[in-house]
Structure 1
Amino acid sequence: MRPKYTINLLILLIIEHTMSSTLLSFLIATSVLNPTANNNNTHSFTGENNLSVVIPKQSNKVLTNPGIGFTELQRVVSNDPENPFYEGKPVISYPDTSTIYYRWYWDQLTTATDPNLNERMLEKKIDNVLEEAAAVNKKVVIRFMALRGKNDPIYDADVNKDSSGIPCWLVQELYGHGLNGSSCHLSDKEAVSMFKNPLFIHRMQQFLDALGKRYDNNKTLLRIDMGMVGTWGEWNLSGYAAKTSNSVGLVDNGYTLHDLEPYIAALVHAFPHTPKTMLGTDKGDFLSYATNRGFGWRVDCLGDWSKGWSEMEDGYPGLIAHASDIQTNTAPDVLFDQRWKKSAVDFEICQDSLQDWSNIKNPLHLTYDQVQQTFDFALKEHASLIDAKSHQIPNIYQPLLTAFLNKLGYRYQLNEVDYSRNIPKNGTLIINSQWQNLGVAPSYINYPVTWRLRTANGSIIAYYTSNAKIENWFPAADYEDQSPIYKVSDHFQLGNQILKGQYFLDVGLVEKGTYNAKVLLANDTKMTTDTGQSYTINNNIIKNNNSIVSYVDNNHYLYNGNVKYPSSFFLDKHSEQYIKQQNNIGRWNEIATINVI
């Protein structure tokens, strides 16, 4: 209990609402470094530990942070009017994104005749996507697939036009056709039975192992979506199942959990360090088997309110109930409803876009209330990512979308900081902080809470990293309830190198092993960049020429066209400007000033 602080803080808040901004600035300005610019409420008092208190101002802005929000589908950015990567017409109504979702069939990564992964194909496709994503501070989710939709067009010039998703050499091994002028196309019977074939399973394991050797531990790879089974890697046999079958589901076409356990085991073996998600279906025990082994889960067709049977009213509730049902499930996960605390939950919308939801001529048209209920369901299940397929968002849904994105995934807010304002040289900096996660899920990656001292001209003097683990800062169990408060107490030795003087105290959630802040907080304070410079959105004026430059991993831009770097992609002035802007975003929050005396 600190009654003196409570009373004084109340007085301060009353003053804030009743006095002019000029007088208020005078009251809380206690430093020549002008901490009022950071929008925080500052109150100094002498207590047991001689600490000062800061109440950082809250923000209601949508935050674009790693691993949460809407995803891009098969492109790097949708809503930039400059269209920096020339990936089709800009989609201005689509929200800012932090994650890119890409899918590749097996036959896109090996040639028709060689079982080994093709280096050129990998560089042109997967490597290039990972590099572009890293260049603009985005993460990538990948699904590898083995069975193309029956009549899906093939646009990839590397792929035989009659291919069904697996390379022709494998079709030849399995069924005796595919090479030497024979068709590479799978019959319905071949496609339906393929996933039980021991030779196919063996080759699948080799394929995933080779990919894992190359891409596991890649820090840009957010997670792997468990494909490799069924049409589009979606654990069904749509387009191929016999008409006499009860459904296109795997169970109704003769598959058991035992048949498909090797696929889950193969992905775990190939990508031991990369998070994984598994598609849920309303039949079978596959999902709970996977979540028991650390997988997150995802489902397709979010927003299906079809009359009669629908995903929203029948499919999802049945799937969730069955996952933990010890009576009907041979591999129940009794902790299924708690798995979101350690592994992600993702959704993909039904139909092509939210425009389809708003089209009253569409048989699957949704009412406004149904859209609200759809978003609420995703929040109830603690979702992190929504694949809305990089298509237009109707204006009517924008208010709903803003509220939704402000809850989706994690949203960390700093509520209070008690800190040592005056510290003897080589003394101890005490920082007691209080935090909340106002979202519906944690971050599944730890971004260490890091404090830094900065001079008025932007020079970084020192960093101090807390032992707090933000992965354990869970939101409320129900998205409508109050989030718990997490208290962190840090004591840092200043060190002899810190000279007497006055310094800004900043906080950032940084990438592990670096001092690069990656996560925006739900606080409205003055922001600075990783290099200590003031940051305002869109204040970066980039001068460009028409040179084509090569981007490499250390963010150094080389203008010598004769210098060749493996796995580099080439940029023109538009993409170069976009990349520079994305790498100069201020994610450090200015909190207060301290005096070293």
Structure 2
Amino acid sequence: KGIQGQWVENGKTFVPDLSDPIFIAYAQKLLNALGARYDGNPNLAFVDIGMVGSWGEWHNSNFTDVAPLLEKYAPEQLNRYVDMHFSSFPKTPKIMLISGGNSLAWASQKGAGWRADCWGDWHNFSAEWSHMRDDYPQRLAAAQTAWPGFNDSWQHAPVSLEICGYMAEWESVQHYTREEVQASFDWALAQHASTLNLKSRPVPAAYRDIVDSALLRIGYRYRVGQLEWDTTVRSGMPLTLNVTWRNDGVAPAYLPYLVQWRIVNDAGTTVTQIKTADDVRQWLPGDHHSSATLPLPAGLPVGQYRLEAALTNHQGQPRIQLANEGKTGDGWYSLASFNLKE
């Protein structure tokens, strides 16, 4: 009540004035309430910085009788809405829409990742203009110019892409070639994307292999590449593992999953288990070396034991699948075995 703005579409839609103090107060109140309930929830991958423009997508281009968003408001006025999300959701990763103008770099500088709508558009709207050639490169370059750390934002916050239309339309309406579709997925990988929103629609058979190949690298793909320990393992003595973890993906995980190791006997009973100090959020693409020391209780009977690993939440439940064989019924991975000697 009392919010400034204008009615459009013959009175069907109300566009609020983003500089109105009453609207600002209500927006902050709403975000504060959402943050109080959901910030840090392990089931929340990231928060999309919205509240601005149509669908919260930082534009109002669908309303011809409304001034363009980035012309109507100064950067400081729009940055206020970015700040609201950071104050309300200090723990949860955040992403900023690529069309946010100067606010994209502002959000990145504060620690946000980014997302783009209409990914894969090579000529959806025009033969002379496309998001992939004429929009995304310019916006990303401008953000990097405004904030020199922008190109590395994927190292600490997600990049998320939403498809333009549907993949079925790419084939039946746009008639995109396999080369064009491949170029879209190659671009996603080059941007270190973590999520691809295909809108829960079918993938045409003509493109299926391209999608499947990309999914092997999108986001993180963690595995134990090498595992070594002293060949003489005795009861009552610590067992130190030298581990090479590998991320075959293009980005790290952004939530603080725990790395856990356990030793299991032939009966399936865990005889020792530890959490390591590894931070999976630091595992950029490539190899990462770590060690883990597991205490072996005195009096363990001789025989064969299994080494198992898992990436868990803080309640100890495995949450991340590894690109290793040996997955057990409870979500751990049996990676090696050893004989315990007297």
1:433-484, Cα deviation, whole Å (9 max, x unpaired)? 1121111000112322221111222222211222222221211xxxxxxxx3
1:494 to 296, 302, 310: 296
TM-score (norm 2): 0.92
The residue type equivalent to 1:278 in the other structure is M
1:553-579, Cα deviation, whole Å (9 max, x unpaired)? xxxxxxxxxxxxxxxxxxxxxxxxxxx
Structure 2 CA distance for aligned equivalents of residues 490 and 234 of structure 1: 45
- Aligned CA RMSD, in angstroms, stands at 2.4
Determine the structure 2 residue equivalent to 1:263: 81
Show the 5 A alignment for 1:24-423: 172-174=1-3, 187=11, 191=15, 194-242=17-65, 249-252=68-71, 254-281=72-99, 284-306=101-123, 307-325=127-145, 332-351=146-165, 353-359=166-172, 362=173, 364-423=174-233
The residue type equivalent to 1:320 in the other structure is L
- Higher fraction of strand: 2
The residue type equivalent to 1:486 in the other structure is H
1:70-128, Cα deviation, whole Å (9 max, x unpaired)? xxxxxxxxxxxxxxxxxxxxxxxxxxxxxxxxxxxxxxxxxxxxxxxxxxxxxxxxxxx
Structure 2 CA distance for aligned equivalents of residues 392 and 421 of structure 1: 50
Structure-2 change in CA distance of 1:280 and 1:255 (3 Å) = same
Structure 2 CA distance for aligned equivalents of residues 189 and 196 of structure 1: 18
The residue type equivalent to 2:78 in the other structure is L
Contact 2:257-2:311 at 8 Å conserved across structures: yes
SS in 2 for 1:199: helix
Determine the structure 2 residue equivalent to 1:426: 236
The answer to whether the aligner puts 1:517 opposite 2:302 as a matched pair is no
Contact 2:116-2:162 at 8 Å conserved across structures: yes
Structure 1 CA distance for aligned equivalents of residues 149 and 288 of structure 2: 24
The answer to whether the aligner puts 1:507 opposite 2:329 as a matched pair is no
Structure-2 change in CA distance of 1:341 and 1:176 (3 Å) = closer
Contact 2:45-2:255 at 8 Å conserved across structures: no
Q: How far is the alpha carbon of 1:184 from its aligned partner?
A: 12
Q: How far is the alpha carbon of 1:304 from its aligned partner?
A: 0.7
Structure-2 change in CA distance of 1:240 and 1:496 (3 Å) = same
The residue type equivalent to 2:176 in the other structure is L
The residue type equivalent to 1:321 in the other structure is A
Contact 1:189-1:240 at 8 Å conserved across structures: no
1:230-266, Cα deviation, whole Å (9 max, x unpaired)? 00110011332427x5xxx4123x1221111221111
**Greater length-normalized contact order (CA 8 Å, ≥ 6 residues apart):** 1
SS in 1 for 2:84: helix
Q: How far is the alpha carbon of 1:223 from its aligned partner?
A: 1.3
SS in 2 for 1:375: helix
The answer to whether the aligner puts 1:595 opposite 2:307 as a matched pair is no
Structure 2 CA distance for aligned equivalents of residues 594 and 448 of structure 1: 27
Determine the structure 2 residue equivalent to 1:457: 267
Structure 2 CA distance for aligned equivalents of residues 302 and 465 of structure 1: 39
The residue type equivalent to 2:52 in the other structure is V
Structure 1 CA distance for aligned equivalents of residues 214 and 279 of structure 2: 25
The residue type equivalent to 1:305 in the other structure is W
Contact 1:413-1:522 at 8 Å conserved across structures: yes
Determine the structure 1 residue equivalent to 2:278: 468
Contact 2:235-2:340 at 8 Å conserved across structures: no
Contact 1:507-1:591 at 8 Å conserved across structures: no
Structure 1 CA distance for aligned equivalents of residues 304 and 336 of structure 2: 14
Q: How far is the alpha carbon of 1:596 from its aligned partner?
A: 4.6
Contact 2:272-2:294 at 8 Å conserved across structures: no
SS in 2 for 1:488: strand
SS in 1 for 2:63: coil
**Larger Rg, first or second structure (1 or 2):** 1
SS in 1 for 2:17: helix
Determine the structure 2 residue equivalent to 1:527: 327
Contact 1:410-1:439 at 8 Å conserved across structures: yes
Structure 2 CA distance for aligned equivalents of residues 250 and 268 of structure 1: 21
Determine the structure 2 residue equivalent to 1:15: none
